[in-house]
């Protein structure tokens, strides 16, 4: 009699229990209920991901500290780099805003690639990377080199009206690093890493008669019940606390969303930047910055800035509010449309950091004390805080709460 090689897997989005064939690990398995990926078939091995991470770490010093572009102002070349913009912003009295830019463009990219290399080293010395895997799963959403790459183009269009602009050869290092980091995001499979380092935690057999549960952190489907001394349910593999109630999760979402919404008021009222040119000062808010690009005839850039700085933040807040109200009042709306809205929120939230990256580049290019001077406005710190808070809010919004309402309807 042929042994059944299939196993049970809980979907992290709709919480359905799906039977998956274990015959070929190179195929991608999808949930038939919500199309969520249950098994990633196109992922790379840890060795290949480590090689790519090492290449990223080699290129990062060139891409972050060396000049990406420069302007010629009265015969004097002025260079702009990622680190130079952060340093200029911090030393000019905008330390909090500078730290936000530093965190997303320097600290987290270095940390993410370093964690991949660290996990490979831990495998060599036969050590289990428990905390490394947990940190790696949290770090990915805060790596924003792709957003910074778009910010380079926006800053280039903004500066060219004041001086002649040139791109440096080190821009290629930053471009290759950003593309490589995106490829690493696509090809790395944390679930498979957990299985490789913790092989004693087997998949649940289809013959299992107990109720199965899913750990949302390491995506381990298990049937056993493990309680700590406080009576809280723990994941057998990563030991994460799984007893956080739905009420507490919703309180976290409401708290961060309300705080982020409050931050958006001064972020849109106060000027986000000011420019001194030929003796006249021009203070720009988010919307006036968009109008400036329209007046310059740069409609594509104006559209990018409008979408990233105004449309995305407001639409994100509106969608999260709607989903929270749908959960609170048990609105039985189309579940697939609600999930599309939730996926939209998860995807676009990070792109709102575009404005802060542009400010950092402008601070690096346009120095004070010359004919032209650029400074950050009071709205920057509020805008950055709103972006961070709404990202935290959306990450705490659980899709299973929406599916519970849908299952009640059915």
- Max CA separation in the chain (angstroms): 88
Question: What are the tokens at 291?
Answer: 């109008």
407 class by beta-carbon count within 10 Å (0-12 exposed, 13-18 middle, 19+ buried) = middle
Q: Is the pLDDT of residue 23 over 80?
A: no
Q: What is the pLDDT of residue 183?
A: 94
d(CA 69, CA 152): 9
Q: What is the pLDDT of residue 297?
A: 75
- The percent of residues above 70 in pLDDT, for the chain, comes to 91
pLDDT digits over 66-114, tens only?
Answer: 988 887 766 667 788 899 889 988 988 889 999 999 999 999 999 999 9
Of the candidates 250, 51, 322, 275, the one whose C-alpha atom is nearest the C-alpha of residue 163 is 275
Query: Taking residues 370-397, what's their average pLDDT?
Result: 85
d(CA 286, CA 384): 13
Query: Taking residues 184-190, what's their average pLDDT?
Result: 91
- Residue extents of the structural domains in the chain: 1-42+199-227, 46-194+241-409
pTM value?
0.88
Q: Which residue has the tokens 């950050």?
A: 376
Q: What is the pLDDT of residue 3?
A: 47
d(CA 284, CA 273): 5
Our measurement of the distance from residue 81's CA atom to the centroid of its chain's CA atoms, rounded to an integer in Å, reads 22
d(CA 247, CA 327): 11
Would you give the DSSP letter of residue 1?
A: -
Of the candidates 106, 127, 150, 110, the one whose C-alpha atom is nearest the C-alpha of residue 309 is 150
Q: What is the pLDDT of residue 370?
A: 52
Query: Taking residues 226-232, what's their average pLDDT?
Result: 82
**Residue 167's beta-bridge partner residues?**
69
């Amino acid at each position: 009699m042929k042994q059944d090689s299939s196993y049970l897997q809980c979907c992290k989005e709709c919480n359905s229990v799906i039977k998956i064939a274990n015959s070929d690990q190179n195929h991608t398995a999808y949930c038939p209920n919500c199309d969520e990926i249950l098994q990633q078939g196109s992922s790379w091995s840890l060795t290949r991901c480590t090689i790519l991470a090492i290449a990223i770490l080699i290129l990062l010093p060139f891409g972050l500290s060396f000049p990406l572009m420069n302007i010629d102002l009265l015969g004097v070349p002025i260079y702009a780099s990622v680190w130079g913009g952060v340093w200029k912003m911090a030393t000019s009295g905008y330390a909090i805003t500078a730290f936000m830019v530093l965190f997303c463009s320097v600290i987290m990219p270095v940390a993410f690639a370093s964690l991949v290399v660290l996990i490979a080293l831990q495998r060599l010395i036969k050590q289990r990377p428990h905390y490394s895997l947990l940190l790696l799963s949290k770090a990915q959403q805060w790596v924003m080199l792709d957003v910074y790459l778009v910010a380079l183009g926006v800053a280039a269009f903004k500066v060219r009206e004041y001086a002649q602009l040139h791109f440096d050869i080190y821009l290629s290092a930053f471009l290759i690093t950003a593309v490589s980091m995106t490829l690493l995001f696509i090809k790395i499979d944390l679930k498979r890493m957990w299985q490789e380092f913790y092989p004693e935690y087997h998949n649940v057999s289809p013959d299992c008669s107990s109720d199965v549960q899913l750990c949302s952190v390491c995506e381990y489907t298990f049937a056993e019940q493990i309680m700590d001394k406080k009576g809280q349910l723990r994941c057998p593999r990563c030991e994460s606390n799984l007893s956080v109630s739905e009420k507490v999760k919703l309180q976290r979402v409401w708290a961060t969303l309300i705080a982020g919404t409050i931050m958006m008021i001064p972020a849109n009222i106060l000027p986000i930047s000011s420019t001194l040119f030929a003796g006249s000062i021009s203070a720009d808010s988010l919307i006036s910055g968009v109008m400036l690009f329209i007046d310059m005839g740069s409609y594509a850039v104006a559209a990018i800035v409008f979408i990233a700085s105004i449309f995305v933040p407001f639409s994100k807040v509106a969608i999260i509010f709607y989903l929270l109200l749908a959960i609170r009042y048990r609105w039985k709306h189309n579940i697939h449309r609600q999930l599309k809205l939730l996926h939209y929120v998860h995807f676009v939230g990070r792109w709102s950091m575009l404005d802060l990256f542009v400010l950092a580049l402008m601070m690096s290019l346009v120095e004070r004390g010359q004919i032209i001077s650029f400074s950050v406005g009071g709205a920057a710190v509020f805008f950055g805080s709103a972006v961070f808070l709404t990202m935290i809010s959306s990450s705490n919004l659980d899709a299973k709460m929406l599916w519970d309402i849908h299952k009640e309807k059915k």
